[in-house]
Structure 1
Amino acid sequence: MKTCPSPTCQPRQNLLLADLPEADLAGWAADLQPVKLSLGQVLCESGSTAAYVYFPTTAIVSLLYLTQDGESTEIAVVGRDGVVGISVFMGGNGTPSRSVVQSAGEALRLPAHRVKQEITQAGAIQAMLLGYTQSLMAQMAQTAACNRYHSIDQLLCRRLLMGLDRLPSEALMMTQELLANLLGVRREGVTAAALRLSQAGLISYSRGRIAVLDRASLEQRVANPAQPAKQRGGAALMSQQA
C-alpha cells in the first residue's frame, strides 16, 4: 500500500471527518495517514481483526459476504460518505465481511487502537461512528430486500447509482463480470440488462467503463422495472446464500 503525501488527500474530503468539530479532528491529525488504494486490494478479510479503519476520500470499497463454497455478494458500499472497519469500535473480534477496493483512489487510515480510545469518550467522534453504523446497517437491510425482490435491471440501476453517489464523475470503471460478482447474479444476466439500458440511451459502456447518460431515468427504472423480478433466472439471492 502506498502513502499519498499529496495535499489533495485531505480529511475534510471524507464526509464523516468533515462533520467533526475542529478540536476532535485535530486530535486525530497526527495519526491519520493518507494512502492510495488499488483496484481489488483487500483491506480486511472476513473473520480477521482489522488493524486499521479507513476513511475513503476518492476510493470506493465493497463489503462482501462470503459463502462456504467460495461465492460472494456485495452487502454494502463505502465511499467518501463513510468508514471501513466498524467492527473495531463495535466490540467484535473479527469482521463478518471482506473489504475489497472496488474503485481505486485515496483514503485516510487510522490505527484501530486510536479508534478504540476515542469510542470510550462518549464525545462527538463516538456519536459520528455510531450514527454511521446505523446508516450502514440500513443500507445492508435495503440491499437484502432488493436482492430478494428486484429484477436484474433494477439491481444494476441501483448499483450504478450507488457508485455515482460516491464519485465526482458520471462514469464508473467496472466490468460486467465484476458487476455480476457484486450483485450475485450470472454474467449473462448483467450483459442483457446492460444492453437494455444502453439501447434505451441510459448508459454507454466499453472496455470496463460505464458512463451514465441519463441518471433520472436510471432512478425511475429502480422504482419501475423493465422486467418483473420472477424473470431473474439464475440470480443468487443473498438471503438464500446466508
Structure 2
Amino acid sequence: MIEKTGVRNRILKALSDDDFSLVAPHLDLVPMPNRFKVASPGQPLDYLYFPESGIGAVMSLTPNGESSEAGMFGVEGFVPTSTIIGDNLVPYDIEMKVGGAGYRMPIRMIAELMLKSASLHVPFVKYMHVFAVQVAFTALANARFTIDQRLARWILMCQDRIGHDTLEITHEYIAMLLSTRRPSVTNALHVLEGERLIRSSRGIVAVVNRKGLERFSRGCYGVPEHEFERLIGDR
C-alpha cells in the first residue's frame, strides 16, 4: 500500500493518518503527460487526480473554441474539484501543460469514503476555496495588471509547482495561457530579463531572482498562495 511519507501531493499529505489509510488502497499512480486531458466540457468524469509532479490548467472556452487559463494546479491540489460535491461534469477543459504523474481515484470511491469519515472532506473543501481565490486573482490580474506583471505572476506560480528554477515551455504556450499574442510574451520576457529576474531561451525560462519577481508582480501574486498555507499548509 502507498505510504503517506512517500507522497508529494499536498492534499493527500494534509489528510489525517486515519483518512489517508482509507484513501490509499484506492489510489493508482498514473502518467500525466503534456496535453493529458483530465476533463472536457460535458463529458462524464470517472476519476479525480492528485498530481505528484507537472503543471495543469483549467481552461475556459468560448463557443468557437478559443480558450483562456482560469486557474493553475499541480502538486498542491486535486482536479476536478467539482467531484467533491458529487458532480461528474464540468463546463471547461482541464489539461496538463507540463507533463508529470499523479494518483487517480474513482469518483464513486471518494463519495463512499466520505460517508465513512466526517473529517475526510475538510482538506478538499479548503482547497476548493483556495482555488476559487486563485481564479478571482487571475481575473484581477487579467483586468488590472500589465502583461509583464502577469507573466511574473505566472512564472512564480509555475515555480511553486515544479519546485526548481527552470521551466520548459514555449513562448506560444505562454501566449495561449495568458490570452495574449506571442510577440507580447516575447517583449514581456525581455522586460523581465532586462530587470535580471529571469533568463529566457528557446523553450526555457529560468528564474534568477525570485524575490525580485514577487516585487515586480505588484501584488497580483501572493494572496492565493498565502490562503493555501494558512488553511492547508504543513503544520
Supply the AA of the counterpart residue of 1:33: D
Q: TM-score, normalised by structure 2?
A: 0.87
Residue number among 144, 149, 152 corresponding to 1:154 in the alignment:
149
Question: Is 1:42 equivalent to 2:28 in the alignment?
Answer: no
- 1:69 counterpart residue number: 64
Further displaced range: 110-119 or 160-169: 110-119
Q: Does the 8 Å contact 2:55/2:97 carry over to 1? A: yes
- 1:171 counterpart residue number: 166
1:52-76 per-residue CA deviation (whole Å, 9 max, x = no partner) reads: 1000111211111111121111111
Deviation at 1:29, TM superposition (A): 1.6
Q: Does the 8 Å contact 1:39/1:102 carry over to 2? A: yes
- For 2:4 and 2:173, locate their aligned partners in 1 and report how far apart those are by CA, in whole Å: 27
Q: Match of 2:125, SS?
A: helix
Q: Does the 8 Å contact 2:23/2:113 carry over to 1? A: no
Question: Is 1:141 equivalent to 2:136 in the alignment?
Answer: yes
Query: Unmatched 5+ residue regions in structure 1?
Result: 1-6, 226-242
1:90-129 per-residue CA deviation (whole Å, 9 max, x = no partner) reads: 2334112211111111110011111122334562221111
Question: Is 1:211 equivalent to 2:170 in the alignment?
Answer: no
Q: Match of 2:217, SS?
A: helix
- For 1:133 and 1:30, locate their aligned partners in 2 and report how far apart those are by CA, in whole Å: 24
- 1:110 counterpart residue number: 105
1:136-173 per-residue CA deviation (whole Å, 9 max, x = no partner) reads: 11111111111111110011000000001111211111
- 1:85 counterpart residue number: 80
- 2:193 counterpart residue number: 198
Question: Is 1:22 equivalent to 2:17 in the alignment?
Answer: yes
- For 1:119 and 1:173, locate their aligned partners in 2 and report how far apart those are by CA, in whole Å: 38
Supply the AA of the counterpart residue of 1:146: A
Q: Does the 8 Å contact 1:89/1:119 carry over to 2? A: no
Choose between structure 1 and 2: higher helix proportion.
2
Q: Match of 1:30, SS?
A: helix
Residue number among 91, 96, 99 corresponding to 1:96 in the alignment:
91
- Name the Cα RMSD after superposition: 2.0
> In 2 relative to 1, CA 24–122 (structure 1 residues): closer, same or farther, beyond 3 Å?
closer
User: Runs of 4 or more off by more than 4 Å in structure 1?
Assistant: 7-11
Deviation at 1:213, TM superposition (A): 0.5
- Equivalences, count: 219
- 2:181 counterpart residue number: 186
Q: Does the 8 Å contact 1:9/1:107 carry over to 2? A: no
- For 1:119 and 1:9, locate their aligned partners in 2 and report how far apart those are by CA, in whole Å: 19
Query: Unmatched 5+ residue regions in structure 2?
Result: 221-235
- Write the mapping of 1:214-233 to structure 2, written as runs, cut at 5 A: 214-223=209-218
> In 2 relative to 1, CA 61–224 (structure 1 residues): closer, same or farther, beyond 3 Å?
closer
- For 2:174 and 2:4, locate their aligned partners in 1 and report how far apart those are by CA, in whole Å: 28
Q: TM-score, normalised by structure 1?
A: 0.85
> In 2 relative to 1, CA 8–72 (structure 1 residues): closer, same or farther, beyond 3 Å?
farther
